Amino acid sequence: MFQLSAVAAGALGAGGGVLTPARAARRRRKVRAELAPSTVRPGELLTLTVVERLHQPRRIRVRDDSGLVWTRTARHRRSQVWTARPTEPGSGVVTAVVRRKDGRVFRRTVAYEVVGPEVTVGGTGPLIGMSAPAPEWDLRVAQVGAGLGARRIFADLADGADTQLRLVEEAHAAGMLPVVSYKVGGDAAGAAAGRFDAVAQQAAARLASYGLPTAVSFWHEPYGDLTGEQYAAASRRILPAFRQGELRVGPILNGWLLDNQVDVFTSFCPDDLFSLWDWFGIDTYESGTMASPGPAKPAQRLPALSAYLATRGHPTMPIGVGEYNGYSAATIAAAGTAILETPHVWFGCLWNSTESKGHVLEGERLAAFQQTLVAARA
C-alpha cells in the first residue's frame, strides 16, 4: 500500500490542502491575525480574527490607521473576533496588538480595501412602471396596456424572508424591474438593534438568487413615522445585507419636503448613507384634492431632486420615483415628461389606486399615462 513519508504528510493541511512553507510558518506563529473578507463595499462588515498560542495572561487591542472603529464581538479561550463597518471607500491597515504579562508585545498587521459601488442601472432610458394592489394588478395592466417597465412591491420583513416573493417573480417574468420596499412591522428600534438582521440576509439572498436587476428600498416615506436619526440608524443595519448581486438599494423619501422643508428632507439623508445607496428616490403627488388641486405638482420635484443631489456631491446618482399621481391629465402628462427628461432617472412608477392621494386612472388621465408609456418606448 502506498504511504506518504512523514515529510510529505506534514506538507498536507487539513482536508488534504497543500501546507506551503509560508502557511506552515504562519501556523507556528504565537499570534495570528486574519481578515475575511479583506475587500468590502461601504456598509459591509470587516471581520478580524486574532488567534494566539500564548501561555501567559495577555491583553489584545486593535488599532486602525484610518480611524475606523473596531468592536470586539466574540472572545474565546485562544481567539477573539473584532468587527468594523466602514462607510466610505478607501484603504486601511488594522493592527492587532497583543501584550503579554511579561511585557512582550506581538503586532500583526492586515490591510483592507473598501471599494466604491460599481453600479449599473437603467438602460436605454427611464423605466415607466406602476403600483397597484395585488388583487387589482392584472386588471390595471390590462387597462393601461403595453409598455410597463417596473412594478412597485411592498413587503415587510416582520412577515418573513419570503414575503411578496411571488410578486417579484411575476415582475421578473413579465420583464419588469421589481421595486421592492421593505418595512419591519413598525419596529424601527428593533431594526437598528439587529432584530431583523437574519431575515434581511435571507430575503436578500432570495432576491439575489434570481440574478436579475432589482431595486430595494427600506421604509419608504419615513417622515411622519420616524425621525431622521431613527431612519438612518435602522437603514445602516438593514441595507448592507441587500448590497449583493444585481440588487441595488436606495431610499424613497417624502418628495413634498423638497417644496419648502429641505432641512427636514436632509435629516433623512446624512452623508454616510450615500455610501450605502446606489440610487435615490422619492414619492411625489399633487397637492390639494381632486376637487381643489393645489399649486405643488409632482413634476416639479424631479428637477428639484436632481439639483439637490448635485449640492450633496452626487450629480449623477440614479433617481427613482416610487409613486406619483395627479388629479388631471395635464398633471400626469407633465410628471411623465419630467421622468423621461430629467437626467439619470432609472424608474418612475405611477400609483394606480384610489387610496390616500392617489386615484385610479380613468378617461383622460389614463390616456395621459398611456402616452407616457408610448414616449418611453420611443
Structure confidence by residue, pLDDT tens digits, 316-356: 999 999 999 999 999 999 999 999 999 999 999 999 999 88
Quote the cell numbers at residue 306: 436632481
How much is the mean pLDDT over the chain? Answer: 88
pLDDT computed for residue 124 by the predictor: 65
3 state SS of 322: strand
pLDDT computed for residue 276 by the predictor: 92
pLDDT computed for residue 321 by the predictor: 98
3 state SS of 264: helix
pLDDT computed for residue 53 by the predictor: 80
pLDDT-derived band at 310, boundaries 50, 70, 90: very high
CB 217, CB 150: distance < 8 Å: no
- Distance (Å, whole) CA 101 – CA 313: 50
Percent of the chain beyond pLDDT 70?
90
Measured between alpha carbons, how far is residue 130 from residues 35, 217, 220, 313 in Å? Answer: 44, 16, 16, 30
Higher pLDDT, 298 or 57: 298
pLDDT-derived band at 116, boundaries 50, 70, 90: low
pLDDT-derived band at 8, boundaries 50, 70, 90: very low
Neighbouring C-beta atoms of residue 335, cutoff 10 Å: 28
Region 367-374: mean pLDDT is 96
- Distance (Å, whole) CA 142 – CA 321: 22
Neighbouring C-beta atoms of residue 135, cutoff 10 Å: 7
Chain segment 17-53, per-residue pLDDT in tens: 444 444 444 444 788 888 877 777 777 788 999 888 8
pLDDT at 6 over 50: no
3 state SS of 276: coil
- Distance (Å, whole) CA 183 – CA 191: 9
- 286 CB-side CA count, 13 A: 23
Chain segment 232-260, per-residue pLDDT in tens: 999 999 999 999 999 999 999 999 999 99
pLDDT computed for residue 259 by the predictor: 96
Beta bridge partners of 183: 156
Residue with cell string 413615522: 225
pLDDT computed for residue 92 by the predictor: 86
pLDDT at 214 over 60: yes
pLDDT at 97 over 50: yes
Which residue in 347, 378, 353, 356 sits closest to 365, CA to CA?
A: 353
pLDDT-derived band at 377, boundaries 50, 70, 90: confident
Report all structural domains of the chain as residue ranges with CATH numbers, in order of start: 30-114 (2.60.40.1080), 127-377 (3.20.20.80)
- Distance (Å, whole) CA 230 – CA 23: 46
CB 353, CB 133: distance < 8 Å: yes
The lowest-confidence range among 65-74, 309-318, 358-367 is 65-74
* pTM for this entry: 0.70
Q: What does DSSP say about strands 79-84 and 46-52: parallel, antiparallel, or unpaired?
A: antiparallel
Quote the cell numbers at residue 270: 446624512
- Distance (Å, whole) CA 243 – CA 89: 15
- Distance (Å, whole) CA 325 – CA 339: 12
Chain segment 135-187, per-residue pLDDT in tens: 999 999 999 999 999 999 999 999 999 999 999 999 999 999 999 999 999 99
pLDDT at 119 over 70: no
CB 127, CB 321: distance < 8 Å: no
- At 369, which helix (H) or strand (E)? helix 363-377
Quote the cell numbers at residue 114: 473598501
Region 223-230: mean pLDDT is 97
pLDDT-derived band at 359, boundaries 50, 70, 90: very high
